[in-house]
Amino acid sequence: MRAVVLDANALMLPFQFRVNLEAELRRLLGDTEIFVPSPVVDELRGLSKSTREARGAQKLAERFRTFEVSGEADDAILEAANQLNAAVVTNDAALLRRLREARVPRIFLRSRSHLVIEEL
């Protein structure tokens, strides 16, 4: 079973582009265990007061395992990925660069319709 870490951006994909996140991850990786770092949960909690997508993303995040870690969201995502030996799902360009430099597998949205994986 492959571990996958989601950022806030990834959790909003189903509500912005009607992408079935879990089905796409199964298609790419087979069985997965999905984690959301605690700072991402906190970020969504704050955003949920202003956008419908964030409210949906917060509810979606509750279906997955919370990975307790401290720090800012992007740092926490990188730390969780390293500790879990996990791929990260994001469409955030700056985070994708950091993950590439750290040699962490990246999964992102392509053509607004499906996820692709960029391995090491």
12, burial (CB in 10 Å: exposed 0-12, middle 13-18, buried 19+): buried
Report the predicted TM-score, pTM, of the whole model to 2 decimal places.
0.95
Full domain range(s) for residue 76: 2-118
User: Within a 13 Å sphere around the CA of 27, how many CA atoms are in the beta-carbon half?
Assistant: 11
Calpha distance 78→84 (Å, rounded) = 10
Calpha distance 23→48 (Å, rounded) = 24
- What pLDDT, on the 0 to 100 scale, is given for residue 98? 97
Helix (H/G/I), strand (E/B), else coil: 79: helix
- What pLDDT, on the 0 to 100 scale, is given for residue 119? 81
Total structural domains within the chain: 1
What's the CATH code of the domain at 102?
3.40.50.1010
- Residues in the chain where the model's pLDDT stays below 70: 120
Calpha distance 72→46 (Å, rounded) = 14
